[in-house]
Copies of this chain bind each other. A is one copy, B any other.
Amino acid sequence: MTSTLGVGMVGYAFMGAAHSQGWRTAPRFFDLPLRPDLAVLCGRDKEKATAAADKLGWRSVETDWRALLTRDDVQLVDVCSPGDTHAEIAIAALEAGRHVLCEKPLANTVDEARAMVAAAARAASRGVRSMVGYSYRRVPAVALARRLVEQGRIGEIRHVRASYQQDWIVDPQFPLVWRLQKDAAGSGALGDIGAHIVDMAQYLTGDLLTGVSALTETFVRERPLPSGDGLGSVDVDDAALFLGRFAGGAVASFEASRFATGRKNALRIELNGSRGSLAFDQERMNELEFYSEEEDPDTRGFRRILVTEPTHPYVGAWWPPGHGLGYEHSFTHQAVDLVRDIAEGRDPVPSFADGLRVQLVLDAVEKSAASGSWHTVPEE
């Protein structure tokens, strides 16, 4: 008889749907020490939250997130609400002894992120766990890339080349939604999608960025208000580009853009090392490209590994070789790993500290873009 892990989720939009699918599906394909119980969904609008809970499969509803911290059937709080609410909810939950899964970015400011890291450290000493939701780490091809780096298959890393390209606001008539307003969103492409490639680069290399040089741009500066009443100003970046250096000596380039016409969700990363290279593109998420310098010169070449073999990370629980996974599978993997970490008493990764390290880079990027000069990334 498996015990359950009661989950209370705050928020129910895009990320809420993805997390729900993760919690629901994890025990159907993986053997888990605790079975997730989709106990309660929390949203401010009772009617909408009730409809969402019904659709997404949650068995009760709350309208105040504080209520989750006192319910006996909630052992974990899953924070899927906007970034400016993360710190308050996550810190309170940890202090109330609830494990926390917090969507990325960890917070909208470095100060909030630092406070969350401190709270996570205090909680960990009491066996309360926390994880930040950089779920792309759990795409099998990405996890395989990390495994190959750890095995030394590409040697000492010299180049990191990362970009996250989308194109959903290329049309200047696309309205001024909340994601294009600094008050609500914190930043534009940088915090939304740039955060993912910074985390992935630091994860794959096992190294940290020490400095950056950046530029940001807003191509369309006025857009129709969603209300229909004329135009409003866009005050976040449409694109952010930066160069960086890693502690271990690698140089790096990053680009996050919502104006890469034709690129829909092109999270791409390439690493070049002294012994080989790796390349990944989320638009072909079941593939990893690998080049090994150590092979026979006649037959060297980038190979397309179809990351669907039973020996590949997470894949054994799913389908036979060649039967690919989709976007939401990484949320299942996230749930699986977190449940196991909780049951087995391990601190999960990516930790809040990992989340802070991303925020520190993004902060340095903004400062560099403003000053036009190189900016050092603080260590913590």
Contacts and interface: CB of A to CB of B under 8 A. Distances in A.
Interface string A1-43: 0000000000000100110110011011100000000000000
Nearest to A275: B261
Contacts of A282: 322
Interface stretch (A111-119, A121-129, A266-274, A338-346): A266-274
A161 B239 CA distance: 13
A260 B272 contact: yes
A326 interface: yes
Contacts of A374: 372-373
Contact of A329 (B170, B263, B274, B326): B326
A25 B17 CA distance: 12
A304 B302 contact: yes
Q: SS class of chain A's interface: helix, strand, loop or mixed?
A: mixed
A25 B21 contact: yes
A248 to B, nearest CB: 11
A226 to B, nearest CB: 18
A372 B219 CA distance: 26
Contact of A57 (B28, B263, B290, B325): B28
B265 A322 contact: yes
Given A144-B298, A309-B297, A321-B168, A158 B259 contact: yes
Contacts of A261: 154, 158, 272-277, 291, 293
Interface in A240-291: 241-243, 245, 249, 251, 253, 255, 257, 259-266, 272-277, 282-286, 288, 290-291
Contacts of A154: 261
A319 B323 contact: no
Contacts of A172: 274
A269 to B, nearest CB: 14
B305 A300 contact: yes
A292 to B, nearest CB: 8
Given A239-B251, A259-B159, A323-B327, A148 B299 contact: yes
A186 interface: no
Contacts of A55: 27-28
Contact of A249 (B219, B272, B306): B219
Given A277-B262, A327-B323, A239 B159 contact: yes
A3 B321 CA distance: 38
A324 interface: yes
A166 interface: yes
Interface string A214-245: 11010100000000000000000001011101
Given A241-B251, A253-B255, A298-B311, 12 more contacts: A20-B28, A147-B298, A161-B255, A217-B251, A239-B251, A261-B272, A261-B273, A261-B277, A263-B277, A265-B323, A301-B306, A304-B304
The 9 closest A-B pairs by CB, nearest first: A265-B322, A264-B322, A326-B326, A262-B291, A303-B303, A372-B374, A301-B305, A323-B327, A373-B373
